[in-house]
Amino acid sequence: MRMRLMSVSLAALALAAAGQQTAAPVRLPAPEPAPALYALDGAFLQWPLPASGQAYADIDGRRLHRYVVEQAAIARRYRDSGHPQFWGRITGTSADAESADWLAAAFRRIGMADVRAQAIDLPPQWMPESWTITAASGATTLQLDRSAQPAYASPGTSRGGLDVEAVWAGTGSDADFAGRDVRGKAVFLFSMPLPGSMNNTSTADGGPKRAEANGAVAVFEIIALPGNMRNMLYPARVNIPVFSLGMEDGYAMRDLIAQAGDRPPRVRIRLNVRQVPDEKSALVWGTLPGATDETIYVMAHRDGWFDAATDNASGVATLVGLAEHFAKTPQARRRRTIVFVGLDGHHNDAGVGRTWMVAHKGELFAKTALAINAEHTSTIQTYVYGERIRSSNTYTAQLWYAGGPSRPKLQEIAIHAFREFGVPTYAEPEQAPPPGDLGRFYRFVPGVDAGDFNMYFHTDGETPETVPWTGLEASTRAYARIVDEVNKLPLSDLQRPEETAPTAPRP
C-alpha cells in the first residue's frame, strides 16, 4: 500500500511539474479486496480439543450458535411486529417475555430443578416510538433517519419537532467548540465506536455535554465506522435530543454543510418518546443441585439491542451450554450446587434484577465459590481496511478478570483454562471485570468474566454471523473447566471479605 501511495503521489507531482493541472486532488483508490474465496461460516478456525480436555467434547460450538440464532429471531419478531426503529430484546417488551420463556424452556428441557421466572417490576421504561430526521439545503434533502438512532434515554421533541440550522463540530472537543456559534442549532460531530470513547455520550466531558453547555438544541454523533449502521448509544445525560448517525449519512451531512457555505442546511427533527409504566421483566432461574449447599453461579443478561448476537445472545448460549454439560454429571459428583440465572439486563440503564440480587447477597452468596458472568463470549475478529469492515475467520482476544490479586489460585485456574481451550486473552487481567453485570458482584463474590467489544457492538450489524461458533465453543469449554477446577478448592481459597476494589466501568 505504501508503494502504491508513493507512486500515485509521484505521478501527481510529475503532472504538476509538467505544468499540467490535475482536475482534483488525487484520491487514492480504496484497497478493495478481491471476491471472497470461501464462506467464513464454514471456515472458522477451530481450536483442537486437547487430550486433557476430552471431558468437554460435548460442548459443541455449532449447537451453541443455534441458540444465538434463536435469540436473534426473537428480536427480529419484535422488530417485524411494529417496531422497525427501536428493536431488540428490549427489557419490558414482548421480546423480553419471549426471551424469558425461551430460557426457561431450555432449563426445563435440560431437566434442571427449581426452574422459575421471578417477576421484576420495572421503573417507567424509555420507549422511542418513532422518529424522522431530514436535512435540507437548496434542492438537496437527506433522509438521515436511514441510520439515525436516539441515544438511550434521549428526550424527545415536541409534537411539532425542531427545525434548526446544522453546524459541524469536528470531534466535539473543546477546541472544536472554541469560537463556534452552536446556539439553537443541531450539532454534528464525529465519535469513535469504542466503549468509553463511543460513550462520548456517557462521559462528563463528552461532546453532547459541550454542545448542550454551548446552547445547542440537538446533537448527532457520527459513528466513524464504514457503512451506515444504526448504533444505540448509552445515555448522554443531557437534556437535548442526542442521536447516533451512520458514517454514510454522516459524510453526506458533512458535505452538505460544506457545500452550503454561509447558508447552513436546516435540520428537521421529530422524536416521539414515551415513558412506559408498569412493565415487567424476569430473572430466570434454574438449578443443578450438587452434593453440598455450597454454590456456583452462572449468569448472563438476556437483553440487548437489535439482534444483540454478541451482546448478549452469546453469553446466554454459553450459559445454556454450561447447564447442558453439567446436567450430565450425576448430582453426587457435582461438589457444589450450580445456580443459573438469566438476568433481565442493563441496557435499560437500570439493571433491576441484579440490584435485587445484590440486595439479597447475604442469602444468595454466603457459600458461593464462584460466579461466572457469561457476557460477549465470542466475537468475530474485524479490521477497518479501506472503506469497509473486514471480517476474518477467527474470534477475538478477550478482556478478562478472575477474582483479582487476592485470589491467585482462581487467576491461575482461569489462565490455564483459557489457554487449554484456545481463548485468546491479554497478559494483564482487568482490575475490575470488563463492563457488564459482574461489576456489581465482584467485590463480594469470587467472579470470573471474559468478554470483548467489537466494531458491531450495539449496532444493527451485530448479527449471528459476527459470533463465531468456534469462540462460543472455546469460551464455554474454558468456563466448564474453571468450574471443575474451582470445585477442587475449599471456599477459604476463594471467599474474601468484601473488598474495596477499583470501580468497575459501566454498565
Q: Which is nearer to Zn ion, 311 or 420 (CB)?
A: 311
CA angle 139, 142, 148 (to 5 degrees): 165
Q: What per-residue string of b and e applies to 109-122 under the rule 16 or more CB within 10 Å gives b? A: ebebeebebeebeb
3-state secondary structure 208-254: HHHHHHCCCCEEEEEECCCCCCCECCCCCCCCCCEEEECHHHHHHHH
Q: Which is nearer to Zn ion, 375 or 452 (CB)?
A: 375
Instruction: Provide the minimum distance between the beta carbon of 301 and Zn ion in the complex, in angstroms, as a whole number.
Output: 6
The closest alpha carbon to 265, from 144, 146, 158, belongs to 144
Residue 222 pairs in a beta bridge with 190, 245
Instruction: Provide the minimum distance between the beta carbon of 376 and Zn ion in the complex, in angstroms, as a whole number.
Output: 6
Q: Which is nearer to Zn ion, 312 or 396 (CB)?
A: 312
The closest alpha carbon to 86, from 12, 163, 145, 164, belongs to 145
Q: Which is nearer to Zn ion, 145 or 449 (CB)?
A: 449
Q: Which is nearer to Zn ion, 288 or 343 (CB)?
A: 343
Residues 6+ positions from 77 with CB-CB distance below 8 Å = 95, 98
CA distance 282 to 98: 11
Q: Which is nearer to Zn ion, 311 or 449 (CB)?
A: 311
Cell numbers linked to 186: 443541531
Please say whether the beta carbons of 443 and 498 come within 8 A.
yes
3-state secondary structure of 299: strand
Instruction: Provide the minimum distance between the beta carbon of 308 and Zn ion in the complex, in angstroms, as a whole number.
Output: 8
Instruction: Provide the minimum distance between the beta carbon of 191 and Zn ion in the complex, in angstroms, as a whole number.
Output: 20
Site for Zn ion in 64-83 (CB under 5 A): none
Site for Zn ion in 300-319 (CB under 5 A): 311-312
Instruction: Provide the minimum distance between the beta carbon of 87 and Zn ion in the complex, in angstroms, as a whole number.
Output: 17
Instruction: Provide the minimum distance between the beta carbon of 377 and Zn ion in the complex, in angstroms, as a whole number.
Output: 10
Instruction: Provide the minimum distance between the beta carbon of 423 and Zn ion in the complex, in angstroms, as a whole number.
Output: 17
Q: Which is nearer to Zn ion, 169 or 232 (CB)?
A: 232
What are the CA-CA distances from residue 194 to residues 140, 225, 243, 429, 458 (Å)? 32, 10, 16, 19, 11
**Per-residue x/- track, 263-302, Zn ion (CB under 5 A):** ----------------------------------------
Exposed, middle or buried by CB within 10 Å (0-12, 13-18, 19+), for 349? middle
Residue number of the CB closest to Zn ion reads 311
Cell numbers linked to 60: 459443541
Phi, psi of 489 (to 5 degrees): -100, 145
Pairing of strands 218-223, 242-245: parallel
Residue position matching grid coordinates 444483540: 308
Q: Which is nearer to Zn ion, 47 or 453 (CB)?
A: 453
Q: Which helix (H) or strand (E) holds 275?
A: strand 266-276
CA distance 318 to 308: 14
Instruction: Provide the minimum distance between the beta carbon of 313 and Zn ion in the complex, in angstroms, as a whole number.
Output: 10
Helix ranges restricted to H, 128-169: none
Instruction: Provide the minimum distance between the beta carbon of 160 and Zn ion in the complex, in angstroms, as a whole number.
Output: 37
Taking contact as CB under 5 A, which single stretch among the options 49-57, 150-158, 367-375, 407-415 is the one that binds Zn ion? 367-375
Instruction: Provide the minimum distance between the beta carbon of 447 and Zn ion in the complex, in angstroms, as a whole number.
Output: 15
Instruction: Provide the minimum distance between the beta carbon of 316 and Zn ion in the complex, in angstroms, as a whole number.
Output: 10
**Per-residue x/- track, 372-391, Zn ion (CB under 5 A):** ---x----------------
Query: Which amino acid does the sequence have at 180?
Result: R
Q: Which is nearer to Zn ion, 191 or 312 (CB)?
A: 312
Number of residues counted as binding Zn ion (CB under 5 A): 3
Cell numbers linked to 424: 485468546
Instruction: Provide the minimum distance between the beta carbon of 436 and Zn ion in the complex, in angstroms, as a whole number.
Output: 5
Site for Zn ion in 443-472 (CB under 5 A): none
Instruction: Provide the minimum distance between the beta carbon of 354 and Zn ion in the complex, in angstroms, as a whole number.
Output: 12
Q: Which is nearer to Zn ion, 249 or 460 (CB)?
A: 460
Q: Which is nearer to Zn ion, 244 or 312 (CB)?
A: 312
Q: Angle formed by the axes of helices 315-327 and 61-80, to 10°? A: 130
CA distance 59 to 53: 11
Number of H helices and E strands in the chain, helices first, is: 11, 19
What residues line the site for Zn ion (CB under 5 A)?
311-312, 375
